[in-house]
């Protein structure tokens, strides 16, 4: 196989992932991980996606940092850090497939319910950020799935689209950065990883700009329905992985 083909395919996948992340504030790993795993080893796909997350978060925060719900973000980050040790403790004690199955079913049922009967489930206070962040820390440390609880929390808080996107980036930047550094210390920053990331960076920047423009054109009244639809896809992917 021509050595250039995997690079070009990887760039196309990362472009699509960054486009979705720019529009909705999440979903890049949902797209990038399963597709990259088809063309490169997991030891390349995982750190490339890890580079992708904080990079996009930083780009989005440069423009939208004023929209970050700071109190919720701080509570989510600190409680995630608190949940990580418990996640590591249970890493070898709870079956990954069973946990992903439960998480997938919760996300699917939650998304379907809100698509059918929108607006009934809401959180009126940011105090629950501690609970969702703690769960995210456990799942992130044990199964690398810290995103879904935080996205669920954002939808339940019913933030405006710009606050939803920006606050997720405020959370994903430090937590994703910590994961990235950990992978570097583990020796996963190999030459193929760095090469793929560097080649993809200009296209990622373009995709984020385009995705942001698309996201701003989505009416606020419809944004939540699109988010629930994307969550439904996320739940379906987790369900397939768990089975």
Name the one residue in this structure whose structure tokens are 């988010």. Answer: 227
Q: Binning pLDDT at 50, 70 and 90, where does residue 2 land? A: very low
Which residues contact residue 232 at a Cβ distance below 8 angstroms, ignoring those fewer than 6 apart? 107, 108, 111, 112, 115
**What's CA 163's distance to the chain center, in Å?**
16
CB 172 within 8 A of CB 166: no
- In the numeric block, which tokens belong to residue 92? 């070898």
pLDDT digits (tens, 9 = 90+) for 123-138: 888 889 999 999 888 8
- How does the average pLDDT of the chain come out, rounded? 85
Q: What value does the mean pLDDT take over residues 195-209?
A: 94
Domain span holding position 50: 4-242
Structurally, the chain folds into a number of domains equal to: 1
Please tell me the distance from the alpha carbon of residue 60 to that of residue 99, in angstroms, as a whole number.
31
Percentage of the chain surpassing pLDDT 70? 91
pLDDT at 84: 82
Judge whether residue 3 has pLDDT over 70.
Answer: no
Please tell me the distance from the alpha carbon of residue 124 to that of residue 241, in angstroms, as a whole number.
34
pLDDT at 78: 94
Q: What value does the mean pLDDT take over residues 64-80?
A: 91
CB 156 within 8 A of CB 129: no
Percentage of the chain surpassing pLDDT 90? 28
CB 141 within 8 A of CB 85: yes
Please tell me the distance from the alpha carbon of residue 42 to that of residue 230, in angstroms, as a whole number.
24
pLDDT digits (tens, 9 = 90+) for 20-31: 999 988 888 878
């Amino acid at each position: 196989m021509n050595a250039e083909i995997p690079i070009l395919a990887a760039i196309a996948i990362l472009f699509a992932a960054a486009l979705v992340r720019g529009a909705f504030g999440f979903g890049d790993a949902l797209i990038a991980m399963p597709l990259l795993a088809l063309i490169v080893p997991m030891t390349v796909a995982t750190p490339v996606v890890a580079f992708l997350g904080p990079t996009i978060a930083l780009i989005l925060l440069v423009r939208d940092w004023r929209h970050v719900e700071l109190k919720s973000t701080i509570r989510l980050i600190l409680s995630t850090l608190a949940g990580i040790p418990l996640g590591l403790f249970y890493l070898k004690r709870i079956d990954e497939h069973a946990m992903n199955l439960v998480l997938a079913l919760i996300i699917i049922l939650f998304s379907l319910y809100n698509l059918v009967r929108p607006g009934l489930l809401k959180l009126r206070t940011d105090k629950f950020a501690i609970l969702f962040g703690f769960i995210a820390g456990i799942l992130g440390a044990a199964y690398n799935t810290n995103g879904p609880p935080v996205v669920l929390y954002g939808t339940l808080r019913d933030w405006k689209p710009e606050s939803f996107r920006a606050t997720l980036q405020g959370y994903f930047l430090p937590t994703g950065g910590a994961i990235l550094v950990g992978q570097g210390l583990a020796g996963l920053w190999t030459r193929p990883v760095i090469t793929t990331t560097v080649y993809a960076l200009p296209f990622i920047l373009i995709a984020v700009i385009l995705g942001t423009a698309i996201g701003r054109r989505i009416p606020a009244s419809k944004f939540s329905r699109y988010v629930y639809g994307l969550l439904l896809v996320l739940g379906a992917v987790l369900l397939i992985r768990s089975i």
